[in-house]
Structures are given as C-alpha cells and as structure tokens.
C-alpha cells in the first residue's frame, strides 16, 4: 500500500511526470486482477515465512487471500525459489531484517509513504529487497521503486539501524528464479530523494509538467492525458506519403506506448459503461456466445445413445460441443439442441450503430429477487 501522491511503484512516473499526480487522482480506482491478487498472496506467504524462520515452506499451503489459494504449484514455482534466493544474498545467515515495513518521509514529504518488502543489513551494507512475482521483466539498476524505499526507510523511525554507518546500499529484486542485485551509495539515495521532493512539489502546481515516456506504461491516467491524446491525434493526421524513414522510426519507437494508451482507453470506457454511466456514441453488447453442456452426465447419455464411442468424447473432461459436433458429422448425425446452451463470456464495447441489443444492467436488489424466484 502506498499514498495517493507517490509510492514505490509510482515513483518512476511521478519523478518523470509530476503532472500525472493530479490526472491519476481523477481516475476511478482500478480493480486488481487475478495476477495481482496472486502476487499479493505470494508476498503475504513470504512475510509469514520470514517473520517465523521455524516454519516449513509447506506451512503456507492452502493459505487464502483475495480469493486466491496457495497451491503446491505456486509454492514450487514462486515461494521455494524466492526463499532460496535469500541464501545467495545472505549465505551465512548474518542479515538482520524486517519485512513489510511501513516507510515514510516524515515532515519532509507529509502524506508520502509506502511498504517495503524487506529492509535488512549485513555488516556495513544496507539491503533493500523487493519480491516480484509477475511475469514482466524488471531491471534493478537505478530502480526508482527501490530508491524510494531506501530513501523513505532512512527517514523512518525504527529503521535507523539498517543505515547508520553503512558504506553501501544494495538493491535486490527477486523475481523467481532470477535474483538481480545492484550496489549503490547513500549519496545516490539522497540525490533521488532530492529529485522526488522536487517532483512532488511540482505536482502540487496546476501547471505541473506532463512528459511522455516508458514511465507511462502503467499510468492509469493515459486515457485522459493531454500528452497521450495529442500523440494519438497527431498520428492519425499524418499522411503516409509525407513520412520519411526517420519519421517512421520515431513513430515505431512510440507505437507500443500509443497501443497501450488505446487499450487502457477501451478498458476505462468499458468500466464506465459497466457502472451504468454513459459513454457518448457507445454501448455494451454481449460477447459472442459459446456453447456449453447443460448437464455433462445427460450429454454423455444422449451422445452414447447416438452410438458415439465414449472414449472419443473425453480428453480430461467431456469435449466441447463444437468438437463433439465434428465427431457426429462423420456419422451424419446432428448435435441434440436440448443438451447445449449458448453462454456469452461477458460484454464488449460497440458503436451505437451495432445491430446487437445493448446489455441491460439490473439493480442488485432485482438480481437477488430473480435469483430467489429461479
């Protein structure tokens, strides 16, 4: 958890684009996905194991958080290699450490705080460690998130022991099975702190500067950012015949950024429409419905009655209606209508001119009443 001004995960964006702070605060809160919730579960498991070294790794099996459950596969793929990484960082078991530390800047930057996965010390070296359980590659050198945690920890009461008299600060990212390490100085951390103070101060100004760059990748305000919308509009207006090779190269360099902006814009519009609010010119329609079995046991019975070999119908479970239909066609048989039902996988955005009917969202009370009646 971090402040709504700047935290570890947003430090790179705020330092490079102070104007993003005000824009992000205008956006609706994002709903965490399964991948993020799984990462949170892994973080909690690591904290539990490190806070009580007597626990066996398997003790986190079955742990539940945010509807995610710790499985044997997760333990083998994430937790075991993450714990093994500590042996590389601290082979002799000499490190003194604290996990899930609340860090802040006190009076220097009121309201700016974050949570560091691990703050430690080995001899005259401070250690700032962050677990990364996602799939995206993260660089450790000059990593603004780790610099944020280090700078805040230096000013946090109760964590002074990790930095007093140290000659170096080691930043570590453990992204199982990889361990990435970068050693820097207290002076570099202090320089980052000055840059952060400058950026946070600038962000309070109505004319705070906006800047496009790779720090925009995870910015939730891309759909409303003037810099991003301007880039998209300019790209649409440029005629291909007027482009030269150098210009094409420049556009390719920003293509990923513009594509991500477009994807985030669609997600925002979808979120607004799902909440019941309008988006001019657009509506929600059901996605293409995919057939599924009404009742697998009844489907088995009906299909075997048609003479289909049971072994043809099963891989690890009953094959999908589409695959079974292909099997039946060999014998010139039709799939019985009463054993399948078409179910849409959700909603998607479409122009108002789309012939499909718009989705109607029932009030929660009506949903509950209909459920009881059904």
Q: Binning pLDDT at 50, 70 and 90, where does residue 110 land?
A: very high
In this prediction the pTM is 0.68
| Residue 284: C-alpha distances to residues 95, 281, 362 (Å) | 55, 11, 14
pLDDT recorded at residue 235: 65
Query: Domain 11-203 - what CATH class?
Result: alpha beta
Closest CA to 24 of 229, 271, 219, 266: 219
298-331 tens-digit pLDDT: 888 888 888 888 777 776 678 888 888 888 888 8
Distance (Å, rounded) from C-alpha 239 to C-alpha 256? 20
Using the predicted structure, report yes or no on whether residue 245 has a pLDDT greater than 80.
no
Decide: 287 and 348 in contact? Cβ < 8 Å.
Answer: yes
For residues 335-362, average pLDDT: 78
82-98 tens-digit pLDDT: 999 888 899 999 999 99
Closest CA to 129 of 141, 142, 116, 138: 116
Q: Binning pLDDT at 50, 70 and 90, where does residue 353 land?
A: confident
Q: Where are the domains of the chain?
A: 11-203, 222-272, 283-373
Decide: 342 and 323 in contact? Cβ < 8 Å.
Answer: no
Helix, strand counts (H, E) of the chain: 13, 11
Grouping H, G, I as helix, E, B as strand and the rest as coil, residue 318 is strand
Joined tokens for residue 106: 């006190």
Using the predicted structure, report yes or no on whether residue 31 has a pLDDT greater than 90.
no
């Amino acid at each position: 958890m971090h402040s709504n001004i700047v935290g570890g995960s947003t430090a790179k964006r705020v330092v490079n684009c102070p104007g993003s702070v005000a824009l992000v605060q205008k956006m609706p809160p994002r709903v965490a996905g399964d991948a993020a919730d799984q990462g949170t579960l892994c973080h909690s498991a690591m904290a539990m194991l490190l806070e009580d070294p007597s626990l066996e790794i398997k003790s986190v099996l079955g742990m539940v958080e945010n509807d995610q459950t710790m499985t044997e596969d997760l333990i083998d793929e994430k937790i075991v290699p993450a714990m093994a990484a500590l042996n590389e960082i601290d082979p002799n078991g000499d490190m003194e450490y604290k996990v899930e530390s609340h860090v802040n800047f006190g009076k220097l930057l009121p309201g700016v705080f974050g949570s560091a996965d691990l703050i430690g010390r080995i001899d005259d070296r401070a250690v700032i460690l962050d677990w990364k359980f996602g799939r995206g590659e993260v660089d450790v050198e000059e990593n603004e998130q780790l610099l944020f945690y280090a700078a805040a920890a230096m000013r946090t009461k109760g964590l002074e022991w990790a930095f007093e008299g140290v000659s170096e600060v080691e930043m570590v990212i453990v992204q199982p099975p990889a361990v990435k390490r970068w050693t820097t100085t207290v002076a570099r951390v202090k320089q980052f702190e000055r840059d952060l103070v400058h950026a946070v101060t600038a962000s309070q100004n109505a004319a705070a500067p906006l800047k496009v760059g790779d720090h925009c990748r995870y910015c939730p305000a891309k759909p409303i950012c003037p810099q991003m919308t301007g880039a998209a509009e300019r790209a649409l207006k440029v005629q291909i015949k007027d482009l030269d090779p150098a210009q094409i190269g420049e556009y390719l360099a920003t293509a990923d950024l513009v594509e991500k902006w477009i994807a985030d814009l669609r997600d925002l519009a979808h979120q607004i429409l799902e909440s019941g609010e309008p988006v001019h010119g657009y509506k929600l329609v059901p996605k293409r419905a995919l057939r599924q079995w009404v009742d697998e046991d009844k489907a088995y019975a009906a299909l075997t009655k048609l003479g289909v070999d049971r072994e043809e119908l099963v891989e690890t479970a009953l094959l999908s209606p589409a695959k079974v239909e292909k099997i039946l066609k060999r014998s010139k048989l039709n799939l019985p209508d009463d054993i399948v039902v078409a179910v849409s996988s959700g909603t998607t955005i479409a122009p108002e001119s789309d012939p499909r009917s718009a989705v109607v969202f029932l009030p929660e009370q009506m949903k509950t009443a209909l459920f009881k009646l059904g």
